[in-house]
Each structure stands twice: as structure tokens, then as C-alpha cells.
A and B are shown apart, each in its own frame.
Chain A
Amino acid sequence: MNGPLFRHTFRSNAIKLLLVGAGLALMGVIMPVMFAAFGKEVGAFVQSVPLLDQLSDFGEADFFTLSGSVAAGFTHPFTLLLLGIIAVAFPALAIAGERDKGTLEVTLSRPISRNGLLLTLFLAGLIFIGILVAVLMVSSIITTYAVGLGHELQLANTVQLWLVAWLLFAAFMSLTFAVSVGSDRAAPAFGIPATIILLSYLVWAIASIWPDVRWLGEYTVFHLVKAQETLDDGPATADVLILLGLSVVFMGIALYRFPRRDLPAPS
């Protein structure tokens, strides 16, 4: 771990973190408020219309329950977009982006090993994601209490949902690091993981509302989160281990590739 690089990474991402954090805090407010304001009435209406009822299964969460609406905040496309800025854009820009600009060369001309640099950035990224998911979780909990539904929430399980969501986005970050260390341009380092994640999300979302292809959703990484189930009953250990394993595998690839690759002069 390199202290100066770690501090520099925090300083240079501070504004991004604040903006994303504000967005996630807002997300944490909206979902419980919507449930408290309209959830039960809209739920009753939606359940009376079969097509709407089917569509309401979006994201493997029942929006018309408290745990479902809070859980949906963790897997909502807006949340994915915001956390994607950190989980995908950060590692893409920190390695391939800096290589593209030429600043990686200046950093690596210092007495810092490539894996030292990579692990420092990874640790910083883990902390970023951890903080941001915590902002979403804390905001959801505070709002739930504010609307008078706090007693329905199992606090221990919200912490476990934080852990699962953190591991999910850590896996995305690790995947992006694995791509980024092999790339000389920011665009493919960002585009390849973003495309994989987006396709996975689309398959999972479609599978959640289309019973005939529901089995497909089980093969996506988003299925491992099972946000509402985690809030109600705690996470499945196997899912947590798989998410952890993905991070280990992708970071293993990154740590193997980065020191071995050549870094010709930036063109």
C-alpha cells in the first residue's frame, strides 16, 4: 500500500464521491417514502391487473412491501448507474485512463511496484464503494424510521445487504481492473466491463418480469444479491462466497497481468 498514492486517489475523487453519495442518499430517501405514501394503495391496484402484477416483479423485489421497496433501492438502474461511476469508471480511468494521458508513466517512474499501485487503487476503490453503499443504506434506514416504519426493518439484515451490495460492486470493480491493466486506452477499459454488466443486468431484469425465461436470471451476477430475501432472512452464504470469489479471481488476473505486460511509450 502506498500512502501518498492513496491520499492522492482520495483527493482526486472527492468531488465524484460527494456527488454520487448525494445521489445515493436521495435514492435511499425516495424508495421508503414512495412505499409509505402510495405503496399499499398502488400495490392493491397493481395486483388486480395481471400484466402490471407481472411487471411489478422487476428486480426480484416486491415493491409493495417495505423490504421490497428498500431492496429495490439497491438494485435500481439509477443506483447501478451511480455506483457504476465508481465501480467501473474509477478503475478504468485510474489505470488505462492514466496510461492514455501519460500520467501513469510519471507515477510508475517512482519507486512503486505495479502491484503496489494496483492494490492501493483497489483498496481505495473498496473504501469508496463501501462508503457509498453505506450512504444508501443509512439513508434508507433513517427515512424508514422517519416515515414511522422503522420497526418493520431488521437492522442486522440491512448490514448484511450492505455487505452483499458492496461485494457485488467490488466484483465489478475487480473485473474492470482486470481489463484496465491490459489496456492502453480508457474507452475499452470502461466499455468492455460496462457492456458485460449492462447485458447481465438486462437479462436479470427481463428474467425477473418474464416467467418463461426466469431461469436465465439465475445465471446472472445480480441474482446473487437477492436484495429482498437478504433484508427479510439474511444473505445466502454461497452467494456471498461466489461474489467474494469473483473479486478474488478478477483481481488475481489483474495482479498477474499488470507486472508482466510491457508499457511502451504512450502514443
Chain B
Amino acid sequence: MAAILTEALTKTYPGHGPAWRRSAEIRALHDLSIEVHQGEIFGFLGPNGAGKSTTIRLLLGFLHASSGSGRVLDLDIGRQSEDIRRRCGYLPGGIALYDTMTGHEQLRYLSELDGQESLLRGELIERMELSERDLRRQVRDYSRGMRQKIGIIQAFQHDPELAILDEPTEGLDPLMQRSFYELLDERKRAGRTIFLSSHILSEVERICDRVAIVRKGELVALSDIAELLRRHRRRVEIRLDGRVPRLEGVPGVSAVSVTDDILTCQLEGDPTPLVAALQGYELQDLLIEPARLEEAFMEYYAEDTSR
């Protein structure tokens, strides 16, 4: 059973205004088909307005799909959204809390609404380094980071089977981010599934097993991180000491150019054919830039802007 399964999920908002000057309809999400496996950390990437929040809101029943279908924990997103929310934890982007409640009251109230025991609350409070004094203060006095900590605790306190997190590390300092990543690893080891949207690509690269990239409401990539990075073109710089190797036609190598004694090219996929082609040549240095998710991500967007 997939934790999340969508098939051609589409959300379109009708245009506004009177008939004679009605704005065009907005296609927020188009034909999204993804499968998130149980027990994985799945990253959902895309710039602002790409359709990340729309997808999350469709999964949780805040929005109604225009067409297509979706299942979360084998429950239909259109008809069983209450049951879905019973089994999920959700951290909205820029979470809003009740300002007049204390941290304790807030967590207790949300837990009561969940109707489930807060098995992990104490442990999470400790991990997020919130003191008893902090939790007795009204939320209106909290910094952004502290609000985010409360948001993380409320999403995980009932040990949900699936956590859906929208920009989860927003406002957290680097130490707390590390602590949060450890929390995700632990939940993953406990067999829980994490679905997170993020702008921070280094974060996604570090913690996610697989990613989906959306652009203008459409899925442009769905892959595990290693595969995505392997497919990404990396820059290669070879400092020569003698003959210039002929790299044209080597699998995965492109854009070869030689200036003085420096050969540069781009490498896509497995580096073995390139290394084999360099056998017998004298080299001073060989630099293959490590593949980064950020560059892979930008590549998908560069493809779009070049169209």
C-alpha cells in the first residue's frame, strides 16, 4: 500500500469577475501522478506557485480536486478526508497559533482535537529544547522559531503514520534543524512516512529518499535522489600535461573544449567511460564537481526558461 498515491490529480480555479471581463481560469495543478512509499522521506520541490501547497491541501481535503484522484493511506482524499487527518500529522507553512494560549495549552488543545494520546509530546519538547518556562508563556510572545517548534511538536505528538510538512525548517536555527533531521530519521526508522515540501535543496538532498519536482503545476521529475544526481550534468576540468585526449563520443561526455592546457567538458551519468578514455594520458589534475541537487533542480528550471 502506498502512503500517498495520486493519479492525474488536477486543480483549476475558475476565473473571477463578471462575464464580460472575467479573468482566465488558473491551473494550479495539472495531471499530478505520484506514489509515495510507506516508510520513506519524500521531498516535494518547486518554487513559489509551482503547486506544492495546492497538492498538500488537496491531500488533506482543504481543496477539492477538479479531476483525477488521490489516496492517502489507502483512503480517498475526496470522501475520507476526516479519516486521513486522523492518521496524519500536518505542519502548515508559516503555522498560525492561538496567540492567547500558552504553549502547553496549545499542544493540549490540538491533542484533544486529535482525540489521540500524545505519546511523543514529552520527548519532542525535550528535543526541540523548549523549557517549562517557555511553554507557560503565551504564544503571542514567541519568536518565529519557537512557533515553528510548537508546529513541529503538534504535527508529531500523536505519532502519526504519515507526516505532511510544508517548509518544516522555516525559522529554525542550524542546530535545531539538525535536531529536526534526526527526528525525521527516527520516525523513518519507526516505519513512519514523511512528505515534505521545501525550498531548501541542501536539506532535501540530505534527508530525502526520493523527490518530486513540480513546475507550474506539473510534475517534471520524480526520482530517488541518487538517480537524479547521477543524471545531472556535472562540470569536469582536466589539467593536461602533454597530449590532449579525444573525448568526443565518450558516453555521457559533452561540451568538450580545450583552452591552453585545460580541458573542460560536461559529464552526465556514470564517470567510468570518461576515466577509461583518459587511460594513457598524462594528467596534472582531474576535477569532477560533485553533483548537487540544487544544480539538478536549476537544470529543470533552465530547461523551462529556454523553451
Which residues does A use to contact B, with CB under 8 Å?
Answer: 2-5, 8, 12, 101-103, 105-113, 260, 262-266
Which A residues lie within 8 Å of B83 (CB)? Answer: 111
Bound state CA distance, A222 and B115, in angstroms?
A: 43
Q: Is A103 a contact partner of B63 (Cβ separation < 8 A)? A: no
Cβ-Cβ contact count across A and B, 8 Å cutoff: 66
How near does chain B come to A183, taking the closest CB pair, in angstroms? 15
Which A residues lie within 8 Å of B110 (CB)? Answer: 106, 110
A111-B115 contact, Cβ under 8 Å, with A8-B109, A102-B92, A105-B96:
yes
A112-B64 contact, Cβ under 8 Å, with A102-B96, A263-B57, A264-B57:
no
B156 in contact (CB, < 8 A): no
With A112-B82, A262-B63, A265-B93 known, 15 other A-B pairs at CB within 8 A are A2-B113, A4-B113, A103-B97, A106-B92, A106-B97, A107-B113, A109-B90, A110-B113, A111-B113, A112-B85, A112-B113, A262-B64, A264-B54, A264-B57, A264-B63
Bound state CA distance, A101 and B115, in angstroms?
A: 24
Partner of A102, one of B60, B62, B95, B109: B95
Which A residues lie within 8 Å of B112 (CB)? Answer: 3-4
Q: Is B115 a contact partner of A265 (Cβ separation < 8 A)? A: no
- Residue with the highest number of chain B CB atoms closer than 10 Å, among A2, A8, A106, A107: A106
Q: Is B96 a contact partner of A109 (Cβ separation < 8 A)? A: no
Partner of A111, one of B57, B64, B86: B86
Which A residues lie within 8 Å of B86 (CB)? Answer: 111
Which B residues lie within 8 Å of A106 (CB)? Answer: 92, 95-97, 110, 154
Which residues does B use to contact A, with CB under 8 Å?
Answer: 13, 53-54, 57, 60, 62-64, 82-83, 85-86, 88, 90, 92-98, 100, 109-110, 112-115, 154
5 tightest A-B contacts by CB? Answer: A102-B96, A4-B112, A111-B86, A110-B113, A109-B90
Which A residues lie within 8 Å of B85 (CB)? Answer: 109-112
How near does chain A come to B214, taking the closest CB pair, in angstroms? 15
27 A-B pairs in the complex with CB atoms less than 8 angstroms apart: A2-B113, A8-B109, A12-B98, A101-B96, A102-B92, A102-B94, A103-B97, A105-B96, A106-B154, A109-B60, A109-B85, A109-B88, A109-B90, A109-B92, A110-B85, A111-B82, A111-B83, A111-B114, A112-B113, A113-B82, A260-B64, A262-B63, A262-B64, A263-B62, A264-B57, A265-B57, A266-B96
Bound state CA distance, A108 and B113, in angstroms?
A: 9
Bound state CA distance, A189 and B98, in angstroms?
A: 20
Which A residues lie within 8 Å of B88 (CB)? Answer: 109
Q: Is A103 a contact partner of B98 (Cβ separation < 8 A)? A: yes
Bound state CA distance, A109 and B57, in angstroms?
A: 10
How near does chain B come to A115, taking the closest CB pair, in angstroms? 11
Question: Which residue of chain A has its CB nearest to the CB of B28?
Answer: A264
Partner of A103, one of B90, B94, B96: B96
Which B residues lie within 8 Å of A263 (CB)? Answer: 57, 62-63
Bound state CA distance, A12 and B139, in angstroms?
A: 14
How near does chain B come to A99, taking the closest CB pair, in angstroms? 10
Which B residues lie within 8 Å of A101 (CB)? Answer: 96
Question: Which residue of chain B has its CB nearest to the CB of A7?
Answer: B112
Bound state CA distance, A103 and B95, in angstroms?
A: 8
How near does chain B come to A10, taking the closest CB pair, in angstroms? 13
How near does chain B come to A120, taking the closest CB pair, in angstroms? 11
A105-B62 contact, Cβ under 8 Å, with A113-B82, A266-B96:
yes
Q: Is B92 a contact partner of A105 (Cβ separation < 8 A)? A: yes
How near does chain A come to B67, taking the closest CB pair, in angstroms? 14
How near does chain A come to B205, taking the closest CB pair, in angstroms? 25
Bound state CA distance, A103 and B112, in angstroms?
A: 16
Which A residues lie within 8 Å of B90 (CB)? Answer: 109
How near does chain A come to B54, taking the closest CB pair, in angstroms? 8
How near does chain A come to B159, taking the closest CB pair, in angstroms? 15
Question: Which residue of chain B has its CB nearest to the CB of A2?
Answer: B113
Which A residues lie within 8 Å of B97 (CB)? Answer: 103, 106
How near does chain B come to A132, taking the closest CB pair, in angstroms? 22
How near does chain A come to B16, taking the closest CB pair, in angstroms? 13
